[in-house]
Amino acid sequence: MRLAGRVAVVTGASRGIGNATARRLAACGTTVVCVGRDEPALQRLAAEINGSVVTADLTDPSSAKDIVAHSLAAHGQLDIVVANAGVGYTGDFSQMPANRISELVDVNVRAPILLARASIEALRAPSQFSSGGGGAIVFVSSIAGAVGVPGESVYSASKAAIEAFATVLREELRRDRIAVSTVLPGVVDTDFLRIRGVPYNRRFPRPMPPERLARVIVEVIENGNERRIEPRWLGLPARFAATAPNLYRVLARRFS
């Protein structure tokens, strides 16, 4: 996909991965609809990259249609959706508050699914690039969705759900030439680490800057990759967990 002249929605754009991705897309000539809760931060970002803003609470089921409606009204089209917004939780599952479980499911699973559904007709619509429509949906998942991380059971399950959903949706939309991709990052140095419940104190793997992941997301959109794990070496434990889960768990407990 050529990015110049496209219109993209990026959720969680107030900071972190979403902010870096919006900037990266804008540098490629894409108009970005910046979505998030922090309106002042979104307005600053939009002013810097010549984008627009939708202040939305993604736990509200109506927000998905509002986001798409804004993109069409303000920019006349929608070509790319980056479903990046997410929340985490680390700690003893038996002590996890019920409202936090609901929040993780709402933000990490229901919200991106509803946004994808709301976007499909706009992505199918004819555009200056193709009379037959087409576009891209990228779900920012997590390596936790591939291997499962003890102490992050609900978060891992929410990301695994998105992986499963994306796999099936990709087949459903193939004839529409809508690429459906997932990006599974390892540890990223954002506020996400500081508000998940437990500080990240591991010396390895070291958190990567969000700009690195933003570059990967843009590459995935350009190339139409179905799935990308970053850093790439994490693909090895992901494959191991899928093909030899019992042995993987033994080794994971041994080497943390």
Q: What is the predicted pLDDT for the residue at 255?
A: 74
Q: What is the predicted pLDDT for the residue at 197?
A: 60
Residue 159 a catalytic site member: yes
- The catalytic residue among 14, 89, 119, 159 is 159
102 part of a folded domain: yes
Residue 155 a catalytic site member: yes
Q: Per the structure block, which two tokens stand in for 78?
A: 């929608």
- The catalytic residue among 52, 71, 127, 142 is 142
1 part of a folded domain: no
114 part of a folded domain: yes
Length of the chain as a residue count: 256
165 part of a folded domain: yes
2 part of a folded domain: no
- The catalytic residue among 14, 89, 155, 158 is 155
Alpha-carbon gap, residue 251 to 36, rounded angstroms: 39
Domain that holds residue 114: 7-255
Residues with Cβ within 8 Å of 81's Cβ and at least 6 positions away in sequence, in order, are 8, 9, 115, 116, 119, 123, 135, 136, 137, 138
Closest CA to 80 of 30, 136, 23: 136
131 part of a folded domain: yes
For the chain, the domain total comes to: 1
Residues lower than pLDDT 50 in the chain: none
CATH number for position 161? 3.40.50.720
173 part of a folded domain: yes
For the chain, the maximum distance between any two Cα atoms, rounded to a whole number of angstroms, is 55
pLDDT digits (tens, 9 = 90+) for 40-63: 999 999 999 999 999 999 999 999
Number of other CB atoms surrounding residue 50 within 10 Å: 9
Q: What is the predicted pLDDT for the residue at 102?
A: 97
Q: What is the predicted pLDDT for the residue at 207?
A: 84
101 part of a folded domain: yes
Q: What is the predicted pLDDT for the residue at 196?
A: 58
Residues with Cβ within 8 Å of 60's Cβ and at least 6 positions away in sequence, in order, are none
pLDDT digits (tens, 9 = 90+) for 34-46: 999 999 999 999 9
